[in-house]
Amino acid sequence: MTSKEVKLVITTAPSKGKKCVSEVLNRIILKDETAQAEEVVQNVVLVKTSLPSFEAYGLVISAPPSCARKIFPVLGSFPSSDVRAIIDEISELLLKSKVAKFFVNCYVRASDFDCKVLEIGIGLRLKGIAEVDYKNPEKVVHVNVIDDTAYVSLMGKDQEKVSVKSLS
């Protein structure tokens, strides 16, 4: 894939978004000199790169910027107005991944999106196929809604969190 798309959504410490942009780019630029990062909403940075999402995630999480709090590798982005398409795509993603237990975390960063409709829709769509489990999920679906776009990530529980412990 050579086109630049949003591959990471990064949340930052309060008032550290601008600082985080340069720190994140310092890590990504090692493999993609044309990568871009921008604070699109206060404390939320979008990273555009031609690298695969998990490669970009690996570059950042292996030496995480002190300003970063959570890093979400983006597997797909959808118009937030098309809730049915988002439900269909996430359901398909979970089915392909053969996930038996999951839950959905939905974050509205800048929009009037209704997360409950999405969460309930996915749960109903997968009823009898996969179980919603908040305590011991195999995977967590993260949906970051920013303006008119929903960015979807699929990760292990708490894998999005940045910790200084991960450095030791």
The pLDDT, as a whole number, for residue 164 is 57
Domain boundaries, the chain: 5-73, 76-155
The pLDDT, as a whole number, for residue 101 is 97
The pLDDT tens digits for 27-44 are 999 999 999 999 999 999
Task: Determine the topology of domain 5-73 in CATH.
Answer: Alpha-Beta Plaits (3.30.70)
The answer to whether residues 118 and 83 touch, using CB atoms and an 8 Å cutoff, is yes
Six-digit token string for 81: 């107005």
The answer to whether residues 23 and 37 touch, using CB atoms and an 8 Å cutoff, is no
% of the chain exceeding 70 in pLDDT: 95
Q: Decide: helix, strand or coil at residue 74.
A: coil
Task: Determine the topology of domain 76-155 in CATH.
Answer: VC0802-like (3.30.2130)
Which of 60, 64, 12, 14 is CA-nearest to residue 38?
12
DSSP element (H, E) containing 78: strand 76-79
